Chain A
Amino acid sequence: MADFGDSMVKPVKHPNLGIVFYYTGYIVIGMSLFMLLPALASALFREWNVVLGFGIALMSSLSIGMSMVLIGRNTRLNKGKLMWKHGFVVASLSWFILMFLCAIPYMLSGHMNSLLDATFDVMSGFTTTGVFLLQDLDHVSVGLNLWRHMLTFIGGQGMVVLALSFLVREMAGAYKFYVGEGKDVTLVPNVRGTTQIIWIISMVYLTIGTFILFINGILIGLNPTNAFLHGLYIFMAGWSTGGFAPNLQNIMYYHSFSYEVVSILFFVLGSMNFGLHYAIIKGKKMEFLKNIEMQSFILSSFVASAIASVALAKSGLYTDAISLFRRVVFNIVSANTTTGFGSVFARQFILEWGPLGMMAITIVMLIGGSACSTAGGFKGLRVGIVVKGFFADMRKLLSSERRVKVEKYHHIKDMILDDAIVRSAGTIILLYIVLFTGATLLGAYYGYPVVDSMFEAASVSGNVGLSVGITATTMPSAMKVYYIIAMYMGRLEFLSVFALIGVMAQGVKSWFKKSSV
């Protein structure tokens, strides 16, 4: 059997490539198996063509995943040593490959205009962004809708470590994959345990959230089946700060204050650091108020809501507290948590909010939610660290040179604010700004007004999902590609993607060297 196997799929000799193939293959297999759920849902609703679409996607993805593992199988036999670069490359490469494989059900649904549009939607899901190019959303099958929301839910919690935790026995070095996917908090000493806790927290909330939204759905007139499905979708999109919805009108489809309040509750919870959830579960209730990320989030949401309210007060559009809450605060908090549920029409941001209101929402989109949560953006933790670092430097300048004061910040526990931490936070923020500026300039180049372009750029770079209408199937392909890159880099927080590019460049360089010799 072994001889037959060796001749069938030859293992790669290069150990680094082997490691990458091996682990990426398992992640592809893991995500492929998730396709069984929407396939089953479609079968339940007798959507047979959709079942076939998922079947094709599942079988082709499994084939690719298994082939990759087989090519890299020496990793297991030789116990290949996992390094940081492997963690980063595996995380970014598996996202890249899965972007195409998970787009197969989209393409076969007939709701996409091109493969580029389909991959755009998948990347938007993985990165919990929420913008989409899918056509005729109001006629989409249950299976595809479930798949859209599952992608954002799984992407939000972290699919790389999830897949590996279940499928690979030896997980030494798992922390490298975990960091590679843009997460860093460790709730317990090992990553497998941390991943399990993250998924347990999410699944408990999924059950509670879906049930509350189901009851709410029935009360607002949805039939029981739709009340359950919409409850599940909206929870998944809210908790993962994805912002997808099963209908074109997004959260406005329900015309319900209570539905919006429940949604806001879950997307705020979803944007919180898993470490904070765990601390609260462990009885540290005051952590909610003491945490630097929560302070940053509350402050930015409050200031931005106030600015947007002032901007909108000029037009006299929303005159009562409920309207202000539902149309202003809701959108600001949705933007700050990088969720992207919208309770106004996309064009209303331009037509009603004015430049001041749009700038306020753009800034909170960039700031984003908490680190090690499902949210995107700079992250409240980094903004808090940079602001604290700035004030600490100011104090140093103004106080006596002989006085040495250790600056601290509170994130789960008291931590020392040293220059390296401030510099690291500042670098990531700077990279986000570069990404955002690139998207803004590209939009302006294609003729979109600068403020509109900034709004959309902040939305994709910060993985938010609110739109002023630029994101459409008719937008230039170059913008679609850039937006995909922006969502991808924004979510993985740059390092993994840089590592992948670096390794690819190295590969090309050594190939050229070999060819020239």
Chain B
Amino acid sequence: MVQKIIGIIFLFGLLILPVNAETRKINDLVENAKALDYQTVTIQAEAIGEILERGEYAWVNVNDQSNAIGVFVPIEEAEKIKFFGDYFHQGDTLLITGVLYNACKEHGGELDIHAKTITVVSVGQRLDKPINSQKTLIFVGFAFLASILGVYFYQVAKPKRIRDASNEEIDE
């Protein structure tokens, strides 16, 4: 019974740990990179682009509206991510806990995070992009105007000899 209670408390602790850890903004990390160098930090951000695989690890780029940063993660952690943000997608929102390096020796002096854990806080989605009817109408209007001008422009701007030839045809 005691073991079960301890087990439940442990699992509960695991669940609330990331939530309780101080979540920072990426800009805040950049601003305080010297102080936070080699420290464990937590950020919540959207996965963007795609996974960039590097052997057993991968780079996941994340953006939290304040800035974007590269997170170096074991490939099996990266594979948890379903959606990456782009024009058609809202990427998964991730809670990332890892060590911040102001000038990572392993990655050519990059300011990056080596993630210990990645939790998908909310799954992203494909964004609905219905055709905008107002834009369609404006396009039709301008296309009409451009066509009228285009016909006239062609008459005036085309080389004289072609114009003369076509006029002769009309005369005939």
Contact A326 to B109, CB < 8 A, known contacts A73-B156, A138-B85: yes
Contact partners of A403 in chain B: CB under 8 A:
none
Q: Judging by beta carbons under 8 Å apart, are B111 and A351 in contact?
A: no
Q: Is B12 an interface residue (CB 8 A)?
A: no
- Chain B 103-138 per-residue mask, 1 if CB under 8 angstroms from chain A, else 0: 101011111100000000000000001011001101
Q: Judging by beta carbons under 8 Å apart, are B142 and A63 in contact?
A: yes
Q: Judging by beta carbons under 8 Å apart, are A319 and B58 in contact?
A: no
Q: Is B61 an interface residue (CB 8 A)?
A: yes
Q: Judging by beta carbons under 8 Å apart, are A5 and B152 in contact?
A: yes
- Chain B 12-36 per-residue mask, 1 if CB under 8 angstroms from chain A, else 0: 0000000000000001001101100
Contact partners of A347 in chain B: CB under 8 A:
27, 30-31
Q: Judging by beta carbons under 8 Å apart, are A253 and B61 in contact?
A: yes
Interfacial residues of chain A within 369-413, with CB under 8 A of chain B in the complex: none
Q: Is A278 an interface residue (CB 8 A)?
A: no
Kindly specify which of B1-9, B46-54, B92-100 makes contact with the partner chain.
Answer: B46-54
Q: Judging by beta carbons under 8 Å apart, are A56 and B68 in contact?
A: no
Query: How far is A169 from B160 in the complex, measured between Cα atoms in Å?
Result: 12
Query: How far is A348 from B135 in the complex, measured between Cα atoms in Å?
Result: 42
Contact partners of B145 in chain A: CB under 8 A:
59, 63
Q: Judging by beta carbons under 8 Å apart, are B34 and A351 in contact?
A: yes
Query: How far is A223 from B84 in the complex, measured between Cα atoms in Å?
Result: 13
Query: How far is A261 from B50 in the complex, measured between Cα atoms in Å?
Result: 22
* Nearest-CB residue, chain A, relative to B87: A141
B67 to chain A, nearest CB (A): 7
Contact partners of A73 in chain B: CB under 8 A:
156-157
Q: Judging by beta carbons under 8 Å apart, are B67 and A323 in contact?
A: no
Contact A254 to B52, CB < 8 A, known contacts A62-B150, A322-B108: yes
Interface size class of B (residues with CB under 8 A): 35 or more
Query: How far is A62 from B144 in the complex, measured between Cα atoms in Å?
Result: 12
Q: Is A16 an interface residue (CB 8 A)?
A: no
Contact partners of A314 in chain B: CB under 8 A:
none
User: Looking at the complex, which one of B108, B111, B135 makes contact with A108 (CB distance below 8 Å)?
Assistant: B135
Q: Is A184 an interface residue (CB 8 A)?
A: no
Q: Judging by beta carbons under 8 Å apart, are A222 and B52 in contact?
A: yes
Contact A66 to B109, CB < 8 A, known contacts A221-B59, A223-B50, A253-B49: no
Kindly specify which of A175-183, A244-252, A288-296, A493-501 makes contact with the partner chain.
Answer: A244-252
B124 to chain A, nearest CB (A): 11
Q: Judging by beta carbons under 8 Å apart, are A249 and B109 in contact?
A: no
B93 to chain A, nearest CB (A): 14
Q: Is B41 an interface residue (CB 8 A)?
A: no
Q: Judging by beta carbons under 8 Å apart, are B139 and A138 in contact?
A: no
Query: How far is A110 from B155 in the complex, measured between Cα atoms in Å?
Result: 38
Interface size class of A (residues with CB under 8 A): 35 or more
Query: How far is A49 from B131 in the complex, measured between Cα atoms in Å?
Result: 6
B24 to chain A, nearest CB (A): 15
Query: How far is A49 from B34 in the complex, measured between Cα atoms in Å?
Result: 44
* Nearest-CB residue, chain A, relative to B90: A139
B10 to chain A, nearest CB (A): 35
A6 to chain B, nearest CB (A): 10
Q: Judging by beta carbons under 8 Å apart, are B48 and A318 in contact?
A: no
Q: Is B143 an interface residue (CB 8 A)?
A: yes
Q: Is A345 an interface residue (CB 8 A)?
A: yes
Contact partners of A223 in chain B: CB under 8 A:
50
Contact A69 to B49, CB < 8 A, known contacts A249-B70, A345-B30: no
Query: How far is A505 from B70 in the complex, measured between Cα atoms in Å?
Result: 52
Contact partners of A425 in chain B: CB under 8 A:
none
Q: Is B81 an interface residue (CB 8 A)?
A: no
Query: How far is A73 from B152 in the complex, measured between Cα atoms in Å?
Result: 12
Q: Judging by beta carbons under 8 Å apart, are A248 and B68 in contact?
A: yes
Query: How far is A45 from B89 in the complex, measured between Cα atoms in Å?
Result: 13
B33 to chain A, nearest CB (A): 7
Q: Is A510 an interface residue (CB 8 A)?
A: no
Query: How far is A274 from B129 in the complex, measured between Cα atoms in Å?
Result: 44
Contact partners of A62 in chain B: CB under 8 A:
146, 149-150
Q: Judging by beta carbons under 8 Å apart, are A52 and B49 in contact?
A: no
Interfacial residues of chain A within 236-284, with CB under 8 A of chain B in the complex: 247-249, 252-255, 257
Q: Judging by beta carbons under 8 Å apart, are A59 and B142 in contact?
A: yes
Task: Give the interface centre of B105, B135, B153 by most chain A CB atoms within 10 Å.
Answer: B153
Query: How far is A220 from B138 in the complex, measured between Cα atoms in Å?
Result: 43
Q: Is A166 an interface residue (CB 8 A)?
A: no
Contact partners of A141 in chain B: CB under 8 A:
87
Given A59-B142, A226-B50, 13 other A-B residues pairs in contact with their CB atoms under 8 A: A4-B152, A60-B146, A69-B153, A223-B50, A247-B61, A253-B49, A253-B70, A255-B52, A322-B108, A324-B109, A326-B109, A345-B67, A347-B30
List 6 A-B pairs, Cβ < 8 Å.
Answer: A52-B135, A56-B135, A138-B48, A140-B87, A253-B61, A326-B110
Interface residues of chain B, those whose CB is within 8 Å of chain A, are 27, 30-31, 33-34, 48-54, 58-59, 61, 63, 67-70, 72, 85-87, 102-103, 105, 107-112, 129, 131-132, 135-136, 138-139, 142-143, 145-146, 149-150, 152-153, 155-157, 159
Interface residues of chain A, those whose CB is within 8 Å of chain B, are 1-2, 4-5, 8-9, 45, 47-49, 52-53, 55-56, 59-60, 62-63, 66-67, 69-70, 73, 76, 108, 138-142, 169, 220-223, 226, 247-249, 252-255, 257, 317-320, 322-327, 343-345, 347-348, 351
What are the 4 tightest A-B residue pairs by CB atom distance, in nearest-first order?
A323-B109, A59-B142, A221-B52, A326-B108
